[in-house]
Amino acid sequence: MTHVANEHSERDVPAMTVQRIPLYLRCLLEAQGERLTVLNSKQLGDRAGTNAAQVRKDLSHLGELGTRGIGYDVDDLVVHLMRRLGITESRSAALVGFGRLGSAFLGYQGFAARGVRIVAVFDTDPDKVGTEIEGLIVTSIDDIADAVEREGIELAILTVPAASAQKACDALVASGIKAILNFAPCTLTVPDDVSVRQADVAADLQILSFHLNRASSEGYSR
């Protein structure tokens, strides 16, 4: 039912659309779990917290999808979005920073379901190097380059303190890593061909606090 015509280049897809694609995929996977076979743009928009027009606009950047008057075949669209996200095959990732956050990620099962498999763990602390967790041995950060080549690592998750982040990032880039998810509260400097995604939990909490404060102010003004 879902028609896919000329594929658009990833460079043509707006950044905000790229951010919403994983959300649409999550909603579609939930629909699969509910044994739904078809969703229209309004239903998908309601699940994703947006609207039908935005859904249609976003998906239009990915090809000619869906059937007018009927909607999107859930199974077909899941496959299409997974392919465009590059998660039809597992990608190997490195975890850099074996602190509380890093160790929590090692126990998280959601990465594998989203096409990412952590295959190596690195740290600078000699007391942590050699520790075994989830079948992996924490290795010195000095060994990143060898591990990247040996394990075919493509992604890195950076969970080190801000003061250490740029140095760790430089080591990753020098080893050939082209994609970094950064949890350190700082901005990283990388070459143009390296993608960095900043995960800032503190900033997100501040945004939520802003919305709470605004709601309280509006309540007082009534």
Q: How many CB atoms lie within 10 A of CB 27?
A: 20
Using DSSP, state whether 40 is helix, strand or coil: coil
Matching residue, tokens 């950047």: 61
pLDDT computed for residue 1 by the predictor: 42
Q: Quote the radius of gyration of the chain (alpha carbons, Å).
A: 20
Contacts for 91 with CB less than 8 Å, ≥ 6 apart = 115, 116, 117, 154, 155
Query: Mean pLDDT lowest for which of 11-15, 138-142, 195-199?
Result: 11-15
Q: Where are the domains of the chain?
A: 10-85, 91-202
pLDDT tens digits along 71-109: 999 999 988 888 888 776 778 999 999 998 888 888 777
pLDDT computed for residue 98 by the predictor: 93
Q: Specify whether the CB–CB gap between 47 and 31 falls below 8 A.
A: yes
pLDDT computed for residue 42 by the predictor: 94
- pLDDT category of residue 10 using cuts at 50, 70 and 90: low
Q: How far is CA 220 from the centre of its chain?
A: 39
This prediction's pTM:
0.68
pLDDT computed for residue 84 by the predictor: 85
Q: What percentage of the chain reaches a pLDDT higher than 70?
A: 91
pLDDT computed for residue 9 by the predictor: 47
* Mean pLDDT within 115-144: 92
CA–CA dist 113, 88 (Å, integer): 10
Query: Mean pLDDT lowest for which of 32-36, 82-86, 146-150?
Result: 82-86
Distances (CA, A) of 147 to 69, 136, 143, 156, 201: 51, 12, 6, 12, 29
Q: Which two tokens stand for residue 103?
A: 């160790």
Residue 5 has pLDDT above 70, yes or no: no
**Alpha-helix runs per DSSP H in the chain:** 15-33, 41-48, 52-60, 74-85, 100-106, 110-113, 144-151, 162-175, 201-221
Matching residue, tokens 């239903």: 43
CATH code for the part of the protein at 91-202: 3.40.50.720
Q: Which residue has the higher pLDDT, 218 or 195?
A: 195
Q: Specify whether the CB–CB gap between 153 and 120 falls below 8 A.
A: yes
As assigned by CATH, the class of the 10-85 domain is mainly alpha
pLDDT computed for residue 72 by the predictor: 93
